[in-house]
Amino acid sequence: MSGKLITFEGPEGAGKTTQIKLLKEYLEKEGLSVITTHEPGGGSKLSQRIREILLGGEFENICDEAELLLMLAARVEHVQKLILPHLRQGMIVLCDRFIDSTVAYQGYGRGLPLKSIQMMNQFAICGRYPDLTIVFDIDPETGLKRAAQKAGLDRIESAGMEFHTRVREGFEQLALEGGRYFLVDGSRSMDEVHQDILKRVLEISTDFQ
């Protein structure tokens, strides 16, 4: 049986990590096998090292193109070493950020060509797109305040308000495409957001059998 891939996307501080935990707990209570992961950095030691380069303070002035390629390198490792193997085992994979973050951050945020990013994403994931993508919406100022209070701001989070405004617009544009995308208001209470997500997952629950 082939597993299912659910990705969680959105601006900084939108509450993705909390909602992944809540959904995992629910699905496991229903007897389903679930694994959680994240990008960049999931899947292997190499991916984790690339994450440190991308988000840490050691290399502050990474050019935009190099940033994109590093993200994609980490993704290939992640997909090959973790995501695809677990999907083949019939598991549900819940991933905090995936291909749409690259479109929003490196495409809309950095201004790199969207078509090129989409083509490279397709290559990096071996054509295995998410079955469901939950997009969180929150205004950048609120989200960055949340992120700063939680753990301080990393290199990309520190890129400035104009950058993060473009990132939010990118996610909004992606969500308008419909299909696998499901948009939720991340500014509401944790339980309200969880109930919205759970409702959407249950609507397609027959696909998870």
Of 7-16, 17-26, 103-112, the poorest mean pLDDT is in: 7-16
SS (H, E, C) the chain: CCCEEEEEECCCCCCHHHHHHHHHHHHHHCCCCEEEEECCCCCCHHHHHHHHHHHCCCCCCCCHHHHHHHHHHHHHHHHHHHHHHHHHCCCEEEEECCHHHHHHHHHHHCCCCHHHHHHHHHHHCCCCCCCEEEEEECCHHHHHHHHHHHHCCCCCHHHCHHHHHHHHHHHHHHHCCCCCEEEEECCCCHHHHHHHHHHHHHHCHHHHC
The pLDDT of residue 187: 87
Does residue 209 surpass a pLDDT of 70? no
pLDDT in tens, 60-70: 889 999 999 99
Q: Which domains occur in the chain, in start order?
A: 4-38+90-208 (3.40.50.300)
Does residue 203 surpass a pLDDT of 90? no
pLDDT in tens, 20-33: 999 999 999 999 99
Band (pLDDT 50/70/90 cuts) for residue 175 is very high
Give this prediction's pTM: 0.93
